[in-house]
Amino acid sequence: MNLVSLIDHAVLHPTATDDDLVRECLLAAKLGVASVCVKPYMVAQATALLSESNVAVGTVIGFPHGGNQTEIKAAEAKLACEQGAVELDMVINIAKALEEDWDYIAADIQGVLSVASHQNALLKVIFETDYITSDTAIQTLCEICSRLGVGFVKTSTGFGYTKQPSGDYNYLGATLNHIKLMTKHSASHVAVKASGGIRTASAAQSMVDAGASRLGTSAAQAIADGEQSSEGY
């Protein structure tokens, strides 16, 4: 399977405008990515733009920090589905995960999953591994998501900026170790999405080789170009 067909093409930057959305949806349709993942207010427009393509429309819930109340996340998910979204990428409550309040985490995910299931939408749960760095916590999250029956577990938002040794703020995003860990501890019915920092075909392929079956990135064109180059055409 080609890498491009696994991409959820992200249009999530705070500065992304309607013109950017039009351009990126046209690109997504041209390349044949799996989906576009757009800001919530863009869902209806993206649905219209991609109505004659096979590209799914997805959006984010509780993005990027996951601190919204569960009822708000559920309402956001319901409205997104009503406007055309068929995939939902939900951020867990990061603070509650750090506190190891797993009952809260499970209830929060279930609140959105109930909406997604009713709307026949696919739910992906974002752990934000720039903040949730413990292997034990990641394993527990995978076990919760497996028990609840979500569609995907996902590494990062791409906006989990933390202070680096240099003093700058940046994010790490998806790592091979996280993908392997999530693949190992997720049930067979839960897939793994690598997201954050994937900008080349070689990086994308390494994530797939480690167990990812979806790739969240805004670099679909670069990955397509690199994949073609490596195949000699």
Tell me how far apart the alpha carbons of residues 60 and 124 are, in angstroms, rounded to a whole number: 9
> Closest by alpha carbon to 173, among 195, 191, 193?
195
Catalytic residue list contains 193? yes
Residues ≥6 apart with Cβ < 8 Å to 215: 3, 6, 7, 8, 193, 194, 195, 198, 204, 207, 208, 223
Tell me how far apart the alpha carbons of residues 65 and 157 are, in angstroms, rounded to a whole number: 9
Catalytic residue among 108, 124, 130, 193: 193
Output the CA–CA distances (angstroms, integers) from residue 190 to 5, 102, 106, 133, in the order listed: 19, 19, 15, 20
Task: Please list the pLDDT of the chain residue by residue as tens digits (233 residues).
Answer: 699 999 999 999 999 999 999 999 999 999 999 999 999 999 999 999 999 999 999 999 999 999 999 999 999 999 999 999 999 999 999 999 999 999 999 999 999 999 999 999 999 999 999 999 999 999 999 999 999 999 999 999 999 887 778 888 778 899 999 999 999 999 999 999 999 999 999 999 999 999 999 999 999 999 999 976 554 32
DSSP label at residue 92? P
Q: Residue 157 — left, alpha, or beta (φ > 0 → left; ψ -120 to 50 → alpha)?
A: alpha
Output the CA–CA distances (angstroms, integers) from residue 134 to 14, 98, 137, 162, 182, in the order listed: 29, 9, 5, 15, 12
Q: What is the pLDDT of residue 229?
A: 53
β-bridge pairing 122-126 and 214-217: unpaired
Q: What is the pLDDT of residue 233?
A: 28
Tell me how far apart the alpha carbons of residues 67 and 70 are, in angstroms, rounded to a whole number: 9
Q: What is the pLDDT of residue 232?
A: 35
Q: What is the pLDDT of residue 201?
A: 97
Catalytic residue among 8, 73, 89, 130: 89
Q: What is the pLDDT of residue 171?
A: 84
The residue count for the chain: 233
Please state the domain extents for the chain: 3-231
Catalytic residue list contains 96? no
Confirm or reject CATH 3.40.605.10 for domain 3-231, answering yes or no: no
CB atoms within 10 A of CB 134: 13
Catalytic residue list contains 154? yes
Which ranges of 99-199 does DSSP label H, i.e. alpha helix?
Answer: 102-118, 135-148, 176-185
Catalytic residue among 73, 124, 130, 154: 154
Tell me how far apart the alpha carbons of residues 199 and 187 are, in angstroms, rounded to a whole number: 28
